Structure formats: C-alpha cells, structure tokens
Amino acid sequence: MNAFIEKKATYKALVVGVSAGGLKALCSILPKLPVGFPVSVIVVQHRKHMAGDYLIEYLAKRCQLAVQLALPSQPITPGSIYIAPTGYHLLVERNATFSLSIDARVNYSIPAIDVLFESAAICYQHQLIGLILTGANHDGSLGLKTVKKYHGLTLVQSPDSAEYPEMPDAAIAATQVDHILPLSQIASFLTRLLMGDDHG
C-alpha cells in the first residue's frame, strides 16, 4: 500500500517539525534542496517569542530556495521555504493558505508542530510529507500520526543521528513511520523522491 502511494502521489508540501538542536539539523537539510524543488516546505522550529527573529535571515543566506516568514492569507507556493513565526500557531487552511492563531499552547509550545501537521494533513492529505527532526519533547508525534492517517508520507530523523533523540523517539513510538533516516541522508532522500534519481 505504501509503495503504491509513494509512487503514485504527487506531493505538494513537506512539513518539518524541529525543536532543540534544530538550527544545526535545518542547516544540514534546507541548504541542500535545489532550485526547482517541486513542493512547498513549511517549518515549525520551536523558539521563544521575541522582536528580532534572526532564523529567517540566517537560513535565507544559506539556502538556494527562497526562505520567508509564513504570514496569514499568504498562498503557499512550491519551491519556497516558509518558517512559522514565533508566538503564534501556524495552520494551513483547506485552500492552501496560511493562518495564524494564538490559541492555547499545545505540548507547552506555540507554535506547535502538532497544530501545523494536523491542519496540513487535512489540506494536503496523501500529497503531504511529514518530517520530524531533533527535539527534547513529544511535540509532533500526534501530528505525524495524522499525516499517516490521511495517507501522507511519514519521515523521522533517526534518533541516533539526532542531537536530542526524544522527539524522533516519540514520533516513532506513536506511528508506524515510513522511513527513519540519518540526518546526513534526508536532503538527498527528499530530492530523489521528488525530483528523480538525477538529483540528490
């Protein structure tokens, strides 16, 4: 069943959830995604709410794809990397635009990975890829389960390659994930999957 879906699906979006140790993990994946990468990349990185948010700037300098803050009502276009703002939950509406909320924290977090993943799963269903990376909590495990429920593809960074293995461990415990990948291989796996064997 999975092989069938993987082969047949034309994916539209990749949601990424990452917490402690995230900067290093993101920097070993996002800069390697090539121009022409055919899906939208949407990232929740847990971090504190404050005025200056340097993550966007930092990643933009290193990535081939455009990196931007995810803002309300913005259409989500392929080949762009969107980062959830601090202090808000980021959600994907059914019409593939972003919305924000300051609803209660989920897993002590705002933005919460579960909130992004669950809303994106409703929008994109089998056309979604969910990826859980390093982190020291359990956020994202229910979200990844929802991605699986609607026949999306589920990926987790292998706990032994994670700076903080707790979040990958929790995701693996909650869901029969499709692929567990070492950090160094995630970018090439994604480009091969989405762009064919010539890439990655």
What is the binding site for another protein (CB under 8 A)? Answer: 51, 71-73, 85, 87-89, 91-94, 99-105, 110, 115, 118-119, 122-123, 125, 150
User: Annotated catalytic residue: which of 46, 89, 109, 138?
Assistant: 46
Q: At what angle do helices 113-124 and 141-149 cross, to 10 degrees?
A: 10
Min CB(120)–another protein separation in Å: 9
Min CB(135)–another protein separation in Å: 20
Is 19 assigned a catalytic role? yes
**Which of residues 91 and 132 has its CB atom nearest to another protein in the complex?**
91
Among the listed residues 147, 140, 163, 120, the one whose alpha carbon sits nearest the alpha carbon of residue 27: 163
**Which of residues 142 and 183 has its CB atom nearest to another protein in the complex?**
142
User: Annotated catalytic residue: which of 89, 138, 139, 178?
Assistant: 139
Is 139 assigned a catalytic role? yes
User: Annotated catalytic residue: which of 19, 40, 119, 141?
Assistant: 19
CA distance 172 to 159: 9
Q: Is 124 exposed, middle or buried (0-12, 13-18, 19+ CB in 10 A)?
A: buried
Min CB(105)–another protein separation in Å: 6
Structure tokens at 35: 């121009």
Min CB(64)–another protein separation in Å: 27
Q: At what angle do helices 166-174 and 141-149 cross, to 10 degrees?
A: 40
**Which of residues 143 and 165 has its CB atom nearest to another protein in the complex?**
143
**Which of residues 70 and 155 has its CB atom nearest to another protein in the complex?**
70
Q: Are 118 and 92 in contact (CB under 8 A)?
A: no
Q: Are 46 and 18 in contact (CB under 8 A)?
A: yes
Report, as residue numbers or ranges, the catalytic residues. Answer: 19, 46, 139
